[in-house]
Amino acid sequence: MGLDPATRAVHAGERRVSGAPSAPAIHLAATYLSAGDPAELPYAYGRHGNPTWEALEAALGELEEATALVFASGQAASFALVAALTEERPRVLFPHDGYYGTRALARMLERRGVEPAVVDLTDLGAVERELARGAAAIWAETPTNPFLRVQDLGALARLARRAGARLVVDNTTATSALQRPLELGADATVTSLTKAAAGHADVVLGSISTRDAALLERLRAWRTHAGGIAGPVEAWIALRGLRTLPLRIGRQSETALALAQRLERDPRARRVHYPGLAGACLELARAQMPRGFGPLLSFEVEGGAAAAEAVVRGSRLIRPGTSFGGVESSWERRARWKGEDAPEGLIRLSVGIEDGADLARDLDMALAALG
């Protein structure tokens, strides 16, 4: 029928037979009735597979027209992907300004033979020079967290192919509802479902999507043997959230753009970071994210840490706290986390689904703390 991926995601995993439940079951089994060769059975042991995972994986796969695997967290997914990619060549190019948890993981894996190289992925010349030194993969993240910089995925994919390397994209900020990196040449995407994909700040999960069958099997083996498996209850919760992802993130993107434009005009805020604002990356962002720019923005205030903390504590609607992508707006002074390279006065704001005018008034009230 030529259905939109968002429509297919709503119906993925359904059993369209008389009497079938409208929601998938939660399968809590650790073991399954089995005899004979386990390879010939759909399920034999809980670490190898679970029907509840498969319903979520089917929906995730529909959104990217690929095959998805779910993991215990975004970090567990990232670990499996780095491990699978570096089995033959140990070097991976990481963005210089991406999620600090990815950089921390890379540093830990460096002690186990992985060779992380940090590079500005918007500088294609620098990327090409680093690839010439040999690399298994480019690990892109766009828009980046917390600076919302946009990387040219098509150009990075072409550079990776010429060098015999892979392109991986952390798609957590945009999600597959707004950006489809596999269509732009990526070999795999990794997503923290904890954020906007599940969307209700009530579950910790991650996923990887790919169209490469050989890579998929290596990832499945890493999930099974390293044990980074998803709980069935968590998978069910994430699937329920994923069904409404396009609706939620569409509204969040619209409000986030309006608030970013408002902050850009406000003298109390400076250096507003959002892909939808006029600037060098706007046309690229429009091309890669045609349905919206996502729920996440950041801005800086004068006065450093103390001023930013006063703003964060001054709101009544926007909740102080970490993570992003939930239905409730939240924000934090990002540099409060050890290891984060953000300026002391940078506030990262995750826009929820509240009324945009209410959020604008709340933001104004919080900024009044600056005088």
End-to-end CA distance of the chain: 57
Longest dimension (CA), the chain: 73
> How far is the C-alpha of 50 from the C-alpha of 8, rounded, in Å?
21
Structure-token pair, residue 318: 């926007």
> How far is the C-alpha of 118 from the C-alpha of 98, rounded, in Å?
10
Structure-token pair, residue 232: 């069935």
DSSP state of 338: T
β-pairing, 91-95 vs 270-273, is unpaired
Contact predicate 139/102, CB 8 Å: yes
> How far is the C-alpha of 254 from the C-alpha of 216, rounded, in Å?
35
Any idea which residues carry the catalytic annotation?
Answer: 47, 99, 170, 195
| Partners of 330 in beta bridges | 319, 350
Q: Which residue has the tokens 């009735």?
A: 33
Handedness of CA 282, 288, 290, 292 (dihedral sign): negative
